[in-house]
Amino acid sequence: MRKITACLLTILGAITPTAISDSATRNFGSYYYVSHYDDQSHQQDYNYYNVVTKEPSKLEQIVEPKTWNRPASNYTFSYLEEDEFGPSNWGALSPSCNGLYQSPVSLAVNRSLFVRKKRPLELWGLQSRPTRITLVNEGGSAAYFFDYRKADHPRLRGGPLKVDYMFYQFHYHLGSEHSLEGQRSTSELHLVFYNSLYESYESAQNQADGIAVIALLYDVLKKDRIDTLNKWTRYLSKVIEEDHEYSIPNYGLFSLSDVTQTTTWPYFSYEGSLTTPPCSETVQWIVVTQRMMMTKSELKKMRQLKGRGGEWVLNSRPNQALNFRRVFLY
C-alpha cells in the first residue's frame, strides 16, 4: 500500500505544477490546495470557510436556530436531524436509503485503489451550445435543465463507464456531500447523466448502471475583488422562491465547458446511490479530486435561495458507511 501511495504521489506530482513535499506522504490534503491559485492564500481561504462547511452538527452552533424559517409547503424529507424525516429517517420514506451502498462517502487516497491502465474519461459535447437552459429552485438549491439539438447532446464515456451516458442536468448542494481526506468543502456540484440504453433519466434511475454523476467540490475565494468565476451562478436571483423556474435568455446560454472547464482531472470512482430519497443504488460516482473555486458573492447568491429547511439552507446528506465497496482512483 505504501508503495502504491508513493507511486501515486509521483504520478500526481507530475500532473500538478506544484511539487508535493515528503511530509505530504501521509497527509495528502495539501494536494487539494493546488489549483489555479497560490498555495498559501488558497489554504487561508479554505480555513476561512471551513468553519461553515464542517459537519451539520457543528454548523448548527454557528447558525442560530431562529434563522431556520421553515416554509409551509408539504415537503417530505429534511436535512435537519430533529425533523420527522431528517437524514437518519429517510429509510421511512424509501427503504433504499437504509441500503449498504449509499452515498455520499468519505474519500481518501490511502483507502483507494489506483487504476493504472485506464481509458480516458471523455465528455463529448463539452462545447455544445444548448438551445435552452431552465433553472429551477428545487428547495433551497437550483437545478439546471438543458435542451440540445439531438446531434449536440453531451455524453459521458470512458473511465469506469461501460457505455455512454447522456447528460441530464446539474445542481449543487450547499455544504459538500463527499468529503476528501476527511474535509468537507463549501459546495458540491453534481452533473447528472443517464445510461444511453434508456430513453430518459426517469426510466434509467432505478436500473442497475442507470446513472453516472460527476461531482465537483468548491472552495470559496477569499478575495472580494472577483465577483464571478462561474457563469451558472448569474441567474440564481431569478429563482429565490421554492419551485420557481427561469429560462436563461439566449445571450446567457453556456456550454458544459463553462462548468467543468476540463475533464482531465484525477478522480475517485465508486458505486453508490442518489443522495436524496429514493436513494436508488444505481449511481456510478466520479468525484473530482481537484477543488474548484467560487467567489464570496457567488456563495451569497446561492444562500439566498429559499426552500426545504428555510433560509440559508444546508442541503448535504451526511456521509454514509462505505461497507464492502472499493473506491478507485483514476
Return the number of the residue (190 or 301) whose C-beta is nearest Zn ion: 190
Is position 190 an interface residue for Zn ion (rule: CB under 5 A)?
Answer: yes
Q: Which is nearer to Zn ion, 178 or 190 (CB)?
A: 190
Smallest gap from Cβ 285 to Zn ion, in A, equals 11
DSSP per residue over 307-320, as a string? -TTSSS----PPP-
Q: Is 327 exposed, middle or buried (0-12, 13-18, 19+ CB in 10 A)?
A: buried
Compute CA distances 246 → 48, 78, 184, 289, whole Å: 33, 25, 30, 32
Q: How far apart are CA 97 and CA 93, in angstroms?
A: 8
In whole angstroms, the minimum distance from the beta carbon of 181 to Zn ion comes to 21
Q: Hey, what's the cell of 214?
A: 460527476
Q: List, in order, residues 6 or more apart from 246 with CB less than 8 Å away.
A: 134, 135, 235, 238, 239
Query: Which of these segments, 73-81, 126-134, 190-198, 322-330, binds Zn ion (CB under 5 A)?
Result: 190-198
Quick one: which segment of 49-57, 157-165, 184-192, 219-227 binds Zn ion (CB under 5 A)?
A: 184-192
Helix (H, G, I), strand (E, B) or coil at 151: helix
Residue with Cβ nearer Zn ion (42 or 190):
190
Q: Is 178 in the site for Zn ion (CB under 5 A)?
A: no
If one asks whether residue 317 binds Zn ion (CB under 5 A), the answer comes out as no
308 binds Zn ion (CB under 5 A): no
Residue 217 Cβ, how far from Zn ion at the closest point, in Å? 12
Q: How far apart are CA 46 and CA 222, in angstroms?
A: 8
Segment interacting with Zn ion, rule: CB under 5 A, options 36-44, 81-89, 182-190, 251-259: 182-190
Position of minimal CB gap to Zn ion = 190
Binding-site ranges for Zn ion (CB under 5 A)? 190
